[in-house]
Structure 1
Amino acid sequence: MQLTLGFSPCPNDTFIFDALIHHKIDTEGLEFEVFFDDVETLNQKAFKGMLDVTKLSYHALAYVTDQYALLDSGSALGFGVGPMLISKEQIAAADLEREPLGYKIGIPGKYTTANFLLGLAFPEAKNKQELVFSEIEDALLNEQIDIGLIIHENRFTYQDKGLHKIIDLGDYWEKQTGCAIPLGGIVVKRSLPSDVQLKLNRVLRKSVEFAFANPKSGLDFIRQHSQEMSEEVMYKHIGLYVNQYSADLGTEGRKAIRLMFDKALENKVIPPITQKIFLTE
């Protein structure tokens, strides 16, 4: 059976899916047509139900639980991995609290978890411009925006460009909750036969476990999509975003996700959720 599959070209996703799409593991008869997109494009595709299986932001998941269920494997959760607010000229977090409307903020998408966290930390910050995540640093340097909300590998590159950290929103979340920050997960369409959904759940875990056991196996594939990152930066990126929660969410991972949704509901950031979130719940 062939399924449509969407994930980002970032090293954490290509690391996770390499064995799956290149048949380095037994895929139990599943074949995949792959689409590479940035996370906000994947979110938008999920809203339209365009893909059978897709990576999306946890923020976006709240809007599609009627269509998709969350798989046990493939997620990006962790400590010290959250989005960051940065600027060209030094700005203190207190300045943003005092004058939030005075700054134009470049965000990597309305439905990204990064934007959700920005809303929790600075609810009055409304002057936002949506950009592809990889364009935010240049937009700062060109003074198109005052503040950038960065994700992914930009955590490792902004200082090299002379940009300054305002606040690490992942650190903010951890101090508020004591939990890992849920960034993105892998979901499957509920309309697929249940045996196919469970089969996918199994083979994705095998793919993650293969990647952990053979970390350099997918190097060429990862490099092909990594925007000319050095091997050192690629694996630093993978080390941050791929961990025990990627193999299996477990009790702690599920707790963090539920807490994020509870806080989002409290703040009226997301609509009520009527379906069970997890495939195996």
Structure 2
Amino acid sequence: MKTISVAHSPDADDIFMYYAIKFGWVTPNDAKFENIADDIETLNQATLKGDYDICAISFALYPFVKDDYALLKTAVSFGEGYGPKLIKRKGTKLKRNFKVALSGEFTTNALLFKIAYPDARITYMNFLDIEQAVINGDVDAGVLIHESILTYDDSLEVEKEMWDIWVELSGGDLPLPLGGMCIRRSIPLHAAIDYEDTLIKAVNVANKNRKVLAPMLLDKGLIRVDADTLDNYLDLYANDNSVQLSDIQYKALDKLFELGYKNGFYTELVKSQDFLIPSEYKELRQK
């Protein structure tokens, strides 16, 4: 049986969406999924090198890997009135060229931040270290992602919501694209369709069985936060809108790619639906 590497981040929504497979509730045909958990920028960099068969990525990375990876339609995270937060120490005022910690060069929040704050001095670090770096004064500000947007220290305050930056840049009627998954193009199409179907089922099963799955993950120590924070976080990033990309989410992705292109971060304009797995092939093949 073929082993397929599936890499995801260790944050609560990715763990939640994947573990329906890990626990054996959903299984692919004729393949075994082997999961790897790592921080999102490490996964972005790994995708650039082609390390994994299926990998979670920041959506902002995708135009750089589109020739080698197809975009999956499931396990997606979007913000709807919320998202990463630019935080600073309470009572401080940021200068035009303030020093900021971001969670990675290819993250979506980094793309939006660079457009909004072109004069800021950027340093990259693991997302788990950003909050303490701001508290210690190593940087003037930092962009928090994942669960830390709910749990940051009382000595810190929000300078700007990345959601507000997105609204200003995009026009205000689209959800904020944050992360999704991609699959290696060298995988045979019929197998790629099956793997995507498996992941769609896994996310759907996890979402529908949240009251069972969430306590299991907490009991096994797989989640970094407590039960209440997990519940709040899953409300944000692992919900009905995570199961399969919708029309408005495609529009949001295209707007993100357009912003990156117009601001010189991408060399060509990418349309998200041009880079999906052609799942209709499965139906045609069966006729």
TM norm. shorter chain > 0.5: yes
1:168 aligns with 2:161: yes
Give the TM-score normalised by structure 1. 0.91
Partner of 1:153: 147
Distance, in Å, in 2 between the alignment partners of 1:274 and 1:238 is: 30
- Gap regions ≥5 residues in structure 1: none
Deviations 1:183-242 (A, max 9, x none): 001110001000111111111111111012110333333562322x11110121111012
Q: Is the contact between residue 136 and residue 150 of structure 1 (CA under 8 Å) also seen in structure 2?
A: yes
Contact map agreement 1:71 1:279 (CA 8 A) in 2: yes
Does the 8 Å contact 2:207/2:238 carry over to 1?
A: no
Deviations 1:91-147 (A, max 9, x none): 46xxx5xx421x11011011110101101221222x111111111111111111110
Structure 1 position 217 matched with structure 2 position 215 = no
Question: 2:260: which partner in 1?
Answer: 264
TM-score for both structures, normalised by structure 2: 0.89
The runs of at least 4 consecutive aligned structure 1 residues that moved more than 6 Å come to none
**How many Å separate the matches in 1 of 2:41 and 2:51?**
14
Write the mapping of 1:1-281 to structure 2, written as runs, cut at 5 A.
1-91=2-92, 96=94, 99-101=95-97, 103-125=98-120, 127-158=121-152, 160-177=153-170, 178-219=173-214, 220-221=216-217, 224-227=221-224, 229-272=225-268, 276-280=274-278
Larger RCO (CA under 8 A, 6+ residues apart):
1
Does the CA contact (< 8 Å) of 1:69 and 1:190 recur in 2?
A: yes
Aligned identity (percent) is 28
Q: 1:30 to 1:171 in 2, by over 3 A?
A: farther
- SS of alignment partner, residue 65 of structure 2: coil
Which range is displaced more, 38-47 or 149-158?
149-158
Amino acid at match of 1:141: I
Please state how far the C-alpha of 1:27 moved relative to its aligned partner.
2.2
Asked if 2 retains the 8 angstrom alpha-carbon contact of 1:7 and 1:37, the reply is: yes
CA distance in 1, matches of 2:3, 2:28: 11
Q: For residues 228-258 of structure 1, what are the alpha-carbon distances to aligned partners after superposition, in whole Å with 9 as ceiling and x for unaligned?
A: x111101211110123331111211111101
How many residues matched? Answer: 272
Q: Judge conservation of contact 1:79–1:174 (CA < 8 Å) in 2.
A: no
Check the 8 A contact 1:72/1:280 in 2, yes or no: no
The CA deviation at 1:22 is 2.3
Shift of 1:161: 3.2
> Structure 1 residues 175 and 273 mapped into 2: Cα distance closer, same or farther (>3 Å)?
closer
214-223 vs 51-60, which moves further? 214-223
Q: Could you say if the C-alpha distance between residues 81 and 200 of structure 1 is closer, same or farther in structure 2, counting changes exceeding 3 Å?
A: farther
